[in-house]
Each structure stands twice: as structure tokens, then as C-alpha cells.
């Protein structure tokens, strides 16, 4: 079958390109009804419903005594972890924390020329919930990326839910949770975990914001509880777009493309280049690396079914295509990545130059790897401390200030047919 090849100069390119970016990669049956039933059950029956679904989906018998992971269990898990892996977690945690500390917003207070005190203040949410996958993929790095911004923001209570198929947990996930300062860990997954975090269940108190990746059921559950709680996003399959000239090593670019393809069969990898011969070499390198990959089945499905190589006449034509794709990850493997950066508007994270593979962003660069997918980079940003904070406006008038701005407020209130609004201003005016 092979990867899709699109040539920008071909007569049918626009139609083919539109069809490519419009394809639905979510796959699977409609899960909305199933998730709705789970949420209703958890809201009605609390931990009893969570226990039922945990037995059904994870093959694990949940009880009042084992729903929470104890500090001793976390310490035992850490003790069996590889020392080099723990050191890498520590290294990553320091860099992630340092980056997010620089994102903290500032309060503002001033008095305008009419004497009105104005401003805003930022405060964090009281409690946040983190979902950490534990099925096909357990990612300690995602625990750090989701939890550390919350703690930097000042969140006092951070609860993590993670599925334990057959009762098994990933020790490195628990070690990451300890380093990130997570306060509570629960052995639950799926839509029932999202419902428990949103509405409470047994010892699990409700939270204000829920973040973290998950499967289709988890994503749909986050969509359905939004409004009761805040969420980071409804994440779709992973994506990477590599913009590369012919001066790159084809094997490097192939590895970058497969770094996202190996996540899931629904992932997407795109190469845009102005060198068709280089495109051929990258395609051949991908095939060679797939043949040796232990995740070949996953990556090959993503590469052949969802991905593309796009050949343009000039790289100057590429930014408009990049913006239409609005990828989760964008690599600029060109001579002058800064110049190309200035021309691109829509991407979740941008990696500059030939020596900045996307994978460093997944682990140790510092910026968050929770990023908008499915063209959401047109309007959304990656996870940050701001996802755990809210801005409150501040307004203050003395008698003189109200005399200056109040009459206009009363006039507008009357115009909108709201006389009590107008009266609440006018009763304070001397005239």
C-alpha cells in the first residue's frame, strides 16, 4: 500500500490535500452513549459503580481498602525502578518545573483617568485531577507534564487516577507521581475514573479541573463532564509534521516521523519537502526502520493509513500548508528555522533546526508535551499553569468616580429594559 504521496504542482492537489486533512482518525464505534451511562451510574452510586466497572473493564476487584495507593506502595514501587530511569525522571522534572515557573502570570491593579480602580488577580483552583493511562501505554513522562504545572500554579490537592489491569501498576508511573508531588493516587481508569474525579466517589472527593491523556472513552468522558469541571482538552491521536530540505539525513527524518507513528494506529506523520529525491530516501528509510521496529504493527498502520509525504516546488510554499494542518508537533529541519518560524502561525509546539527532534520535547526540553491535536492548534495552546488558574476582575469606585461613569451605565441599563440595574447606580448619585 505505502504512504500517501501528494505533489503540490499536480492539478488535483487541493482536493487531495483537503481530503487528507479532513479524514477522521478517531475510529471506533460511537462511545458517547456508553460513556453517558457510566457517568450516570457513578453519579448515582458512587464507588459501588466504580467497583463494578473496574471489575468489568480491568479485571480487578476494587475494594474500599485498595482503591487508594498508599505511600508505602509508592516507596516499594520506586525501590524496584531502574536507577538510570529514576535519574532521568529527576532531570526531566527539574526542567519541566523551571519552564512552567516562568509562565506564572502577574496580578495588576491601577486607577484610570476617571478615578476608577481596576485590575485583576490570578488564583489557582483548589483541586485538580490527573488521568494517567495504564493500558496499552503507561507514560511516566505524562505524569510529570500534567502534574508539575498544577503544583507550580499552587494547586493544593492533586489526585491521580490510573487503571490497573489485573491489578498491575507501572512502578515508574508511581515514582513519577511521587516526584511531581501528587497527593492522592487511585486504582481506577476509563470513563468511571473521570466521573469519579468530577463528581466524587467514596473516598475520592470532586476536583475542579481534570487533565491528562486517555483512550476514546476517557476523551469522551472528559467532553461530557466539561462544564461541571474544567478540562485541559479532548485530545485526539498524536501528530507530527516535519518540514525538511534535502540537506537532512533521511534516517533522522524517518525516525522523527515514526516517533509519533509508533504511539497508536490512528497517529499521523507528515513530511513536507521541496526535494522529491529526498522524499524517496525518507520513504525508504521509514520502511527499513519499520522492519526492525518492535512496534511495527502500530507504526506501520499509522504510516500507511493516516500519513503523507507532500512535495512542494519551494519551501516558501510550505507555511500555508502547515497552517492548514495545524499540527500538534512541527519540526523545522531547514537552514534558517527562525525565518520559517516567523511564517508559521498554527502548531502546538515547534522544534527548531536539524538537531531538535520532537522526542526531546516529549521528555526533557521543559515545555509541556500535552498539546492541541486535530487542527485545534488554530485556536488552542498546550497545557500550562494557566489551565489550573483563573483570573478575577477587580473594580472599585469612590463617590467621585461613580459620578463620572455611573450615568452612562444607568442609561445603558434602561436601554436594555433593566430598571433595577439603572436604579442601583442612580440611588448612589447625588443628582
Where along the chain do its domains lie?
4-25+236-378, 32-104+125-231, 397-426
Name 273's bridge partners.
311
Report CA torsion sign: 51, 52, 58, 62. positive
- Per-residue confidence band for 134, with pLDDT thresholds at 50, 70 and 90: confident
pLDDT of residue 167: 85
Q: Rounded CA gap, 334 and 279, in Å?
A: 15
Condensed to tens digits (0 to 9), the pLDDT of residues 240-259 reads: 999 999 999 999 999 999 99
Q: Is the pLDDT of residue 398 over 70?
A: yes
Q: Is the pLDDT of residue 14 over 70?
A: yes
pTM: 0.93
Q: Is the pLDDT of residue 28 over 70?
A: no
Q: Rounded CA gap, 366 and 154, in Å?
A: 18
Nearest-10 Cα torsion for 186, 187, 188, 189: 110
Is 329 catalytic? The answer is yes
Name 124's bridge partners.
389
Angle between helical axes of 171-180 and 71-79 (0-180°, round to 10)? 120
Q: Which position among 78, 184, 262, 329 bears the catalytic label?
A: 329
Q: Which position among 328, 331, 346, 358 bears the catalytic label?
A: 328
Q: Is the pLDDT of residue 431 over 70?
A: no
Q: Rounded CA gap, 404 and 143, in Å?
A: 52
Spatial CB neighbours of 207, under 8 Å, sequence gap ≥ 6: 125, 127, 128, 129, 157, 159, 197, 198, 229
For 32-104+125-231, which CATH class? Answer: alpha beta
Is 220 catalytic? The answer is no
pLDDT of residue 166: 85
pLDDT of residue 31: 87
Q: Rounded CA gap, 239 and 327, in Å?
A: 6
Q: Is the pLDDT of residue 44 over 90?
A: yes
Condensed to tens digits (0 to 9), the pLDDT of residues 185-203 reads: 999 999 999 999 999 999 9
For 4-25+236-378, which CATH class? Answer: alpha beta
Domain pair 4-25+236-378 / 32-104+125-231, same fold: yes
Strand 108-111 and strand 117-124: the pairing is antiparallel
Condensed to tens digits (0 to 9), the pLDDT of residues 294-333 reads: 999 999 999 999 999 999 999 999 999 999 999 999 999 9
Condensed to tens digits (0 to 9), the pLDDT of residues 176-186 reads: 999 999 999 99
Condensed to tens digits (0 to 9), the pLDDT of residues 325-380 reads: 999 999 999 999 999 999 999 999 999 999 999 999 999 999 999 999 999 999 99
pLDDT of residue 127: 98
Q: Is the pLDDT of residue 25 over 80?
A: no
- Per-residue confidence band for 29, with pLDDT thresholds at 50, 70 and 90: low
Amino acid at each position: 500500500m505505502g504512504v500517501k504521496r501528494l505533489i503540490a504542482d499536480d492539478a488535483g492537489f487541493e482536493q487531495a490535500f483537503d481530503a487528507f486533512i479532513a479524514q477522521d482518525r478517531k475510529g471506533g464505534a460511537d462511545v458517547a452513549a456508553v460513556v453517558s451511562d457510566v457517568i450516570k451510574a457513578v453519579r448515582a452510586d458512587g464507588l459501588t459503580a466504580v467497583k463494578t466497572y473496574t471489575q468489568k473493564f480491568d479485571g480487578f476487584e476494587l475494594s474500599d481498602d485498595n482503591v487508594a495507593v498508599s505511600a508505602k506502595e509508592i516507596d516499594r514501587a520506586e525501590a524496584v525502578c531502574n536507577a538510570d530511569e529514576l535519574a532521568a525522571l529527576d532531570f526531566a522534572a527539574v526542567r519541566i518545573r523551571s519552564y512552567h515557573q516562568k509562565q506564572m502570570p502577574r496580578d495588576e491593579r491601577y486607577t484610570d483617568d476617571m478615578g476608577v480602580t481596576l485590575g485583576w488577580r490570578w488564583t489557582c483552583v483548589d483541586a485538580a485531577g490527573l488521568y494517567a493511562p495504564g493500558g496499552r501505554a503507561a507514560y511516566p513522562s505524562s505524569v510529570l507534564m500534567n502534574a508539575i504545572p498544577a503544583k507550580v500554579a499552587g494547586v493544593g490537592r492533586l489526585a491521580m487516577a490510573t487503571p490497573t489491569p489485573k491489578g498491575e501498576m507501572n512502578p515508574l508511573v508511581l515514582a513519577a507521581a511521587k516526584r511531581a508531588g501528587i497527593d492522592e493516587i487511585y486504582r481506577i481508569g476509563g470513563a468511571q475514573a473521570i466521573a469519579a474525579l468530577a463528581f466524587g466517589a467514596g473516598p475520592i472527593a470532586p476536583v475542579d479541573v481534570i487533565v491528562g491523556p486517555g483512550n476514546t472513552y476517557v476523551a469522551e468522558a472528559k467532553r461530557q463532564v466539561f462544564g461541571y469541571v474544567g478540562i485541559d482538552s479532548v485530545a485526539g491521536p498524536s501528530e507530527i509534521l516535519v518540514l525538511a530540505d534535502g540537506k537532512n539525513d533521511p534516517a533522522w527524518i524517518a525516525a522523527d516521523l515514526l516517533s509519533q507513528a509508533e504511539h497508536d494506529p490512528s497517529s499521523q506523520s507528515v513530511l513536507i519537502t521541496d526535494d522529491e529525491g529526498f522524499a524517496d530516501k525518507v520513504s525508504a528509510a521509514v520502511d527499513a526502520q519499520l522492519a526492525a521496529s518492535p512496534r511495527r504493527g502500530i507504526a506501520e498502520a499509522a504510516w500507511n493509513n493516516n500519513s503523507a509525504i507532500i512535495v512542494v516546488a519551494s519551501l516558501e510554499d510550505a507555511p500555508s500548508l502547515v497552517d492548514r494542518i495545524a499540527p500538534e508537533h512541527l519540526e523545522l529541519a531547514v537552514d534558517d528555522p527562525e525565518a520559517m518560524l516567523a511564517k508559521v502561525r498554527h502548531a502546538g509546539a515547534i522544534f527548531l533546526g536539524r538537531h531538535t527532534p520532537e522526542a526531546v520535547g516529549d521528555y526533557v526540553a521543559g515545555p509541556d508535551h500535552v498539546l492541541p491535536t486535530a487542527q485545534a492548534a488554530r485556536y488552542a495552546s498546550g497545557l500550562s499553569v494557566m489551565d489550573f488558574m483563573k483570573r478575577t476582575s477587580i473594580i472599585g469606585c469612590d463617590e467621585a468616580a461613580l459620578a463620572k461613569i455611573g450615568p452612562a451605565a444607568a442609561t445603558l441599563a434602561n436601554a436594555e429594559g433593566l430598571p433595577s440595574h439603572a436604579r442601583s447606580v442612580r440611588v448612589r448619585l447625588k443628582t
